[in-house]
Structure 1
Amino acid sequence: MKLRGVRGSRNIEDRRRSGGGGAKAGIGGVGLLVILAIGYFAGVDVTPLLQGLPQEQGAPRELSAEEQKSAEFSSRVLATTEQVWEQVFPDQLGIEYQPPILVLFSGQTASPCGGASGATGPFYCPADEKAYLDTEFFATLSRQLGAKGDFAAAYVIAHEVAHHVQNELGILGEVNNRRQAVGETEANALTVRLELQADCLSGVWARNVDGLLEPGDIKEALNAARKIGDDHLQRSAGRIPQPHTFTHGTSEQRSGWFARGYKSGDVQSCDTFGARNL
């Protein structure tokens, strides 16, 4: 992705020097319950793949050159989402777009939606309208999940911003109310549709930054979508896929909806809730 000439976003909150915003107790108690309650705003939960790995403890520290590079990359990608949605919202929806804050953390952090660690993956919290990202997840995405390339990492950020787009449109609140009124299986099915819509909206973003793309970028994003499908993650963790537990969709569904958004560039094409077949 050609980001050299892109100015970074100002909507960045960097907590990495403080070692994760003081959430040293990790996820537990009420924090864990809240994370589970709002888990459908997460890009991917890689906890099954990271069990047993040492977790970094929060402590004041200096950032490495690689960490600085990751922050600059994230800031520039976030800026592209702002440029895209600030144009798409009035053009396609007739309303203004208010961008989210992207919180960068290391190891652990806290949010109004509960505590989080790098193992939970990136997530969006509608309570404070912020997206949360441990930039170490980029390494997890590449090395452990097999989703390599800078555009694969950019897709992860665009996906969390897409949840903010859903929040701006009132979709998150509506789906949350519906989830609370049904059983677990149906609630999971609603969550899958929510996540696939975010993948499609990520595709809309990708279509609108076409001038910044390099050969192979879309292939990287499609591969990343496949690698974080529920069926692929459960197999990678040594489990037999259990469709009734899926909360993000299969590899085929995730890559398919991203491709749909990319091909159309139209928000209206992302109506996963009205689709009979996902």
Structure 2
Amino acid sequence: MKWQGGRRSGNIEDRRGMSGGQKLTLGGIGGVIVLLISYFMGGDPGAILDQMQTQGPGTATEQGPVESTPEEDRLMEFSSVILGSTEDVWAKIFENNGKSYPAAKMAIYREGTETGGCGYGQKAFGPFYCPGDQTVYLDLSFNKELSQRFGAKGEFALAYVIAHEIGHHIQNVFGVLNKTNAMRSKMSEREYNKISVMTELQADFYAGVWAHYATENSDVKLTYDDIMEGMRAAAAVGDDHIQEQATGQSHPESFTHGTSEQRAYWFKKGYETGDVNAGNTFNDPSLQ
């Protein structure tokens, strides 16, 4: 993919000069599975904290100038350009529908940071979107985990992650997240897990929609190989794959993000159609 020299987003906040800490105690293997699933792709910090015991409040203190490596500098620029690309693509889509796109923000942090409505965010949550402040939170070290631990290699893997989180922002703008969050207290955990899967797969679909239009409507230029990398990245963070790596077996009733096959399918569908209206996962009979 070609991204160097592309427009950088003005909506990134660099929090790497802040230090924070919070201890988590996990409740046995169930807690480990929750953490691992949430670590890869869009975990809801509120839901995670409901299933964990927290010791001590999160704190953050200002430090001196940010110390950064050349690799981290490159990832900062990359993330900024990808976020800028999502802004350009979604602004055009909204404009074509007679609306204005309210861009999301992105906070780049290390280890932990306060959020505007989702509690204390941590590296262990992986990248996540907080609807309270319409911000994507990302610890850049996640890129190494994504590549080395789960085999989702190539630059486009991180681009897919960012586009997926922006997909949650689109859901927030459309009012989808308000509706799904309202269902949480009215359903059993197993019933709500199905809603969660539909929500995550729709975010994958929106990531594919971004990929469909990126080359035409932004400074990021994609190739067929990039799209294949995106599908492999989506498959790498499927619930079944993550659980099997963690425990040697998978538990479909506990899936919250979808299987590897489902995640790759919905990303591909978004890319192939480019039609926002074709991503209603909540009406798909196969997901009921």
Matched, 1:13 2:10: no
CA contact (8 A) 2:38 2:125 kept: no
Structure 2 CA distance for partners of 1:275 and 1:215, relative to 1, 3 Å? closer
**Equivalent position SS for 1:277:** helix
Matched, 1:202 2:207: yes
Matched, 1:259 2:264: no
Where does residue 24 of structure 1 map in the other structure? 21
Cα distance in 2 between the residues matched to 1:203 and 1:257: 8
Matched, 1:186 2:184: no
Where does residue 106 of structure 1 map in the other structure? 110
CA contact (8 A) 1:27 1:115 kept: no
Give structure 1 stretches of 5+ with no counterpart.
Answer: 30-35, 46-56
CA contact (8 A) 1:197 1:257 kept: yes
Structure 2 CA distance for partners of 1:236 and 1:223, relative to 1, 3 Å? same
The TM-score, its normalising length taken from structure 2, stands at: 0.83
String of CA shifts for 1:186-216, please: whole Å, max 9, x gaps: 1110000000000000000000013501341
String of CA shifts for 1:223-248, please: whole Å, max 9, x gaps: 00000000000011124111111000
- What residue identity is the alignment partner of 1:7? R
**Equivalent position SS for 2:247:** coil
CA contact (8 A) 1:41 1:163 kept: no
- What residue identity is the alignment partner of 1:13? E
CA contact (8 A) 1:40 1:195 kept: no
5 Å-filtered alignment, 1:195-274, equals 195-211=200-216, 212-274=221-283
Where does residue 76 of structure 2 map in the other structure? 71
Per-residue deviation, 1:17: 1.9
CA contact (8 A) 2:40 2:237 kept: no
- Give RMSD over aligned pairs: 2.2
* Matched pairs, number: 255
Matched, 1:168 2:173: yes
Per-residue deviation, 1:179: 2.2
- What residue identity is the alignment partner of 2:265? G
Structure 2 CA distance for partners of 1:272 and 1:209, relative to 1, 3 Å? same
Hey, which bits of structure 1, 4+ residues long, moved more than 6 A? 39-42
- What residue identity is the alignment partner of 2:98? G
Cα distance in 2 between the residues matched to 1:229 and 1:142: 15
Cα distance in 2 between the residues matched to 1:273 and 1:227: 23
Where does residue 85 of structure 1 map in the other structure? 90
Cα distance in 2 between the residues matched to 1:42 and 1:164: 17
Structure 2 CA distance for partners of 1:130 and 1:28, relative to 1, 3 Å? farther
Per-residue deviation, 1:107: 1.4
Where does residue 32 of structure 1 map in the other structure? none
- What residue identity is the alignment partner of 2:22? A
String of CA shifts for 1:152-176, please: whole Å, max 9, x gaps: 1100000001100000000000111
**Equivalent position SS for 1:224:** helix
Cα distance in 2 between the residues matched to 1:97 and 1:238: 42
Where does residue 3 of structure 1 map in the other structure? 3
Where does residue 41 of structure 2 map in the other structure? 43
CA contact (8 A) 1:229 1:248 kept: yes
CA contact (8 A) 1:124 1:164 kept: yes
Cα distance in 2 between the residues matched to 1:136 and 1:221: 19
Cα distance in 2 between the residues matched to 1:84 and 1:26: 39
Per-residue deviation, 1:25: 2.4
Give structure 2 stretches of 5+ with no counterpart.
Answer: 27-33, 44-59
Q: Percent identity?
A: 43
Structure 2 CA distance for partners of 1:40 and 1:180, relative to 1, 3 Å? farther
**Equivalent position SS for 1:131:** strand
Structure 2 CA distance for partners of 1:41 and 1:137, relative to 1, 3 Å? closer
Cα distance in 2 between the residues matched to 1:120 and 1:152: 18
**Equivalent position SS for 1:104:** strand
